[in-house]
Structure 1
Amino acid sequence: MNNLRWPTFIIITVAMCTALFLAIFLSGGTAATTAAVVIDPNRASFGICFGPERITCVVDGDTIWFEGRKIRIADINTPEISSPGCASERQLGERAKMRLQALLNQGSFSLQSIDRDQDKYGRDLRIITRDGQSLGDILVAEGLAERWQGYRRDWC
């Protein structure tokens, strides 16, 4: 720093502090939240379920098998494909299933527990997230699901 003159040092320091402030401000966070990184521990290649052996696959828009465990996505409800009320429900359900498969295969994800571990059918109840965002919320935003309200509704 003996060769660095004070005015140059001050200009460089102010520029660095300004850049840091702008990065934090434009990201909408604070230094603590900007530095936080969400690590999603799960990753798999999901197919579509068929046949009796199900390890890692998508059943429908709100049910998957992951590493041999049947999981019901707890924060959404999607149209039925196994016993739909009408043809349009089956079509929308198929779209939800394919979209869920695509979302799961896009990268790592987390499985978040809710207030109870399983439903009455023995399925694990989980919310599936990536980078802190619910994949169910994406399906809802795209019109392929609705928020879970505690019961199935008629999609016809």
Structure 2
Amino acid sequence: MTKKLLKGLALFALFCGPVRAETVDGASFRVVDGDTVDLAGERIRLIEPDAPEISKPRCNAELAKGLRASGRLRQLLKGPVEIERSGRTDRYGRTLASLIAPQGNVATILISEGLAVLYRPGFEAYQQRAAHWCPE
């Protein structure tokens, strides 16, 4: 198999899997950062995007962008929010899920507004994200 095909299969596996959905009041969420929320003690990591870091930013620009992403996520989580759990967790034990707000898929909105990028695994992707958030 080629590397491109393997990467495609890895991304397919990342976004596929069992989905368990429920709807909750958006006021129930506590925003941790631009791609993570807490719901009654359950940490939920949005499966699609990667937002700039605020707890350990690589530069001041990343911190500023991370604070904007967190604020926008807080705005989006108003009213009923559907949680589509993937049935998986990340390496930190966070539930991987999609959040669907009245305005649409939260990840899609954050990415389209430039407040997050599509998550891709691997060190090279990590370096690209770092350069994206800290271009200087």
TM more than 0.5: yes
SS of the residue aligned with 2:31? strand
Larger Cα-atom Rg:
1
TM-score by length of 1: 0.63
> How much has 1:43 moved relative to structure 2?
0.7
Question: Which of 34, 41, 56 is the aligned partner of 1:61?
Answer: 34
Q: Over aligned residue pairs, what C-alpha RMSD do you find?
A: 2.1
SS of the residue aligned with 1:144? coil
* Long gaps (5+) in structure 2: 1-21
* Long gaps (5+) in structure 1: 1-39, 47-55
> How much has 1:147 moved relative to structure 2?
1.1
| 1:80-91 matches, cutoff 5 A | 80-91=53-64
Which structure has more RCO (C-alpha within 8 Å, separation ≥ 6)? 2
Identify the structure with the greater strand proportion.
Answer: 2
8 A Cα contact 2:32 2:38, kept in partner: yes
> How much has 1:132 moved relative to structure 2?
8.8
Question: Which of 126, 129, 149 is the aligned partner of 2:100?
Answer: 129
* Other-structure match for 1:141: 112
* 1:44 pairs with 2:26: yes
Identify the structure with the greater helix proportion.
Answer: 2
Runs of 4+ displaced beyond 4 Å: none
**Structure 1 residue identity aligned to 2:36:** T
Deviations 1:101-135 (A, max 9, x none): 1111x211111123x51111110000111359311
* Residues 130, 146 of structure 1: alpha-carbon distance in 2 compared, 3 angstrom cutoff: same
* 1:113 pairs with 2:85: yes
> How many aligned positions are there?
107
Identity of aligned residues (%): 36
